[in-house]
A and B are shown apart, each in its own frame.
Chain A
Amino acid sequence: MKELPMLRPNKSRPRWHIAVFLAPALLLYSIVMVFPLLDTLRLSLFSSDGANFVGVSNYQRLFTDSQWWPYFWRALKNTVLFFLLHMLLQNPLGLLLAALLDSKNLRGRSIYRTLLFSPTMLSFVIVGFIWQLILSPTWGIAPAISDFLGIRYRPWLGLESTSLPTVALISIWQFVGIPMLFFMTALLAVPQDILEAARVDGASAWQLFWRVKFPLILPTVGIVSILTFIGNFNAFDLVYTAKGALAGPNFSTDLLGTFFYRTFYGFQLQLGDYAMGTTVAMVIFLIILFGSLLYLLVWQRKVVSYEL
């Protein structure tokens, strides 16, 4: 991280403006978000009926009990896979689309930009509904398309082996607009004179992208990656809409988000357990915190942020 030279005309004067800049947001955020969260998270240190302080025994239970750990572990593994699929497919695809949208003299740029973003605007209810309809063995067009492409149709969303990747692909379809948007913004901000200079030097479009543009948008790659990480470790809605809170079949689509929801709020005949629910939430939080710190300490220190 490049340190900006600070200009402080009068060092001794109290700098009230800093407080003015920070206070409104921090107050709102602390009162409406942080305080309620802490107020809830403390429940993880109490027994399930909230009556007794039990220290870390809920955490012990989560990590050692045969009724908790295997389920948590499976949800964690599924979440990692879900996240990796987004990292490996959604973000490169978003980058590709943004790079293509950035090509010189492209006709219909704004139409592409709007249409490509349209899935991202849909609510989960619609996304879940329409993809289940498309992939449906009964009404879907997927069987016909598979025949045409020579792939054997299977009810992908319903099979233990394929349901998680299928849900991930639907999620990627829905959210590819986000990395696309971020990359687009970054690419548009690359100064024209640098590009012109490179073009004059005879760089091909390919070289121009990888040698000039990509290093300049590297900070955005970082932002997108960390947002993907945080977003997917909290992912919940699509699985919940498409596969229900039990995340079937046989828990094959269970993510940390759905696992937390089931534990915290309960399900059908399963009573919600605030103590274990907040314990799960706390562990998810620590995982995300660890990942984010890694990003802040390693990536942000290494990657140079250019002033444009």
Chain B
Amino acid sequence: MDIANLELSLSAMPAEFTLFRGEVSADEWSTAAFAIAEGHGQLVSLWGNQLNNGTFVLSVVYDIGTLVWLELPLARGRISYPDISGLFPSANRLQRAVGDLFGLNAAGATDSRPWLNHKMWPADYFPLRKVNSGKEEFADDLADDYQFVQVLGEGVHEIAVGPVHAGIIEPGHFRFSVVGEKTLRLEERLGYTHKGVDKAFEQLSAVDGYRLAGRMSGDSTVAYAWSYCMSLENIWNWKLPERATWLRAIALERERIANHLGDLGALGNDAGFAFGLSQFMRLKEDCLRLNKKLFSHRFMMDYICPGGVERDIDADGLAEILTQCRVVEEEVRTLQKIYDDHSGLQDRFMMTGTVSLEVATKLGLTGMAGRASGIIHDVRVDAACAPYSKMDVHVSSRETGDVCARVDVRFDELFESLRLIRYLIDNLPMGAIRTEYVERGAEGSGAGWIEGWRGGIFTALYVDSKGKISRCHVHDPSWQNWPVIEYAVIGDIVPDFPLINKSFNLSYSGHDR
């Protein structure tokens, strides 16, 4: 859709990608949401902020082909804004989180239950308000009485799972309503790993924030750090040496490869095929060990830093990466053939956890899972920063939207990332790997957007005149995709849930923060 149709006064922001930003009134907030929903735009993120004068500002970012960042300033004393969850279902939990953190209400929302606050802090305490330090401690004596939606009817019973799960995984609660083995309804409850990251950011200087950003979700540390650094570099208008962005891209693609390898193994395992787990985890371990050698850390934490990267990779190191690309490619081709030919495995994968294109579009499914349901969108192509703007990334997609599609897209993306790494290494520019700190810049705010292996990771950063972070909002694509799992499992049997869940492999920590 065309940005002119919105009839708003927006201005282009300095960013690596096209980003328009503007202030809106409450009416415009609603009408813009309506127009964008009509025009098949998607919600990227929604968050709150409090200014020094004590008033609040709501922000929403939409993807309408370009990014549009709308800001709704609330008058002094006002704490409510118009609900948009009726148009964008993924706004539901985002709005409830704003309620828990700022005490702002989405007027007209049908669901106003708390989301991140599990009664661990009082209902009238709002951690992100400036008057609070975030260091307040509260007695844990409030009874948690979260109201799950109940399914009634003959033979319906509930299965409650979590927050502690059977394996070595992150915590969250799943409430199944089932008849026999068939899932009628799943309701998720997340927020268990909420550890006050947004407030912790506000104690950091902007040049140090990248380390915390890199610990939102350990499996996406490269994407988060890049997204954060990009937002800071946009605010301060730092130009990066070419080699720095190319090395960042090598790290990002290696992160995607490592995660896809791990997931492909785990998906085999969840369907009872332990061979897959042991084979893929071996390849993943090889990647992590080479990361340690060349990037100083198995997951490449703190490799990307403001202005560039921490460490150069010499010709020998690049040769090692190329060798590993060759080995992984060969091995994965063999394993893909074994997966494809295994009828028992395919029987579990196919038509399990299906998300149709219609449901995916309506709910705003994004990233890798979105592509498996036919939503052809990839930040590396649609909002490409350097060096992706100079490359031709092939976006893989499927239309079936089942576990099998998410497995196939992972295979495709893995091979594509190997190809991209070869291209990046063959054409790697010479030069510096980090901008000399030019100027710490003035106060301002900006955004970053990077395609992590799960999907787009969006950062909105506000820096004050002393170079400190006054607000940092980092958004994981899991916010969009978690609610979709509730739909993906409908009609499937309970034992398929682990497989379906793994096929999305969403982040708890990145969501809960």
Q: Is B truly associated with A?
A: no
